[in-house]
Amino acid sequence: MAQELGVPVCPHAGGVGLCELVQHLPVFDLVAVSGSLENRVTEYVDHLHEHFVDPCRVDNGHYLLLTQPGYSAEMTAETIAIYAYPAGTYWASVGAESTDGSASR
């Protein structure tokens, strides 16, 4: 649809793990769709990558190829232990809701 209307498309990657997921799109586009990097843009936001086992990498404005197979979206065990809801240590420290919906104290 965008191509038909001549509208450029830029994959959104501004949240936790979105850069890790969209880094595959420019490679797929180059290898299997367009064969070109001309007029190609993929968003990159440089934060929260430390929460991933194999975070995306950028050099000179370009995503680098992955170092491991997969989608690169696996979170570290430490991040999961801290932020898993409701049992993570972060939620315990802020008073997460109990399973019956009442706030813990």
Q: What is the pLDDT of residues 10-33, one digit of tens each?
A: 888 887 889 999 999 888 999 999
Q: How far is it, in rounded angstroms, from Cα 43 to Cα 12? A: 6
Task: State the residue for tokens 């934060």.
Answer: 47
Stretch 90-97: mean pLDDT, rounded? Answer: 80
Domain ranges for the chain: 2-93
Contacts 24+ apart (CB under 8 A), 44-53: 44/13, 44/19, 45/13, 45/14, 45/15, 45/18, 45/19, 48/16, 48/17, 49/19, 49/20, 50/76, 51/16, 51/17, 51/75, 51/76, 51/79, 52/17, 52/20, 52/76
Check residue 101 and give its pLDDT: 55
pTM above 0.95, yes or no: no
Check residue 17 and give its pLDDT: 87
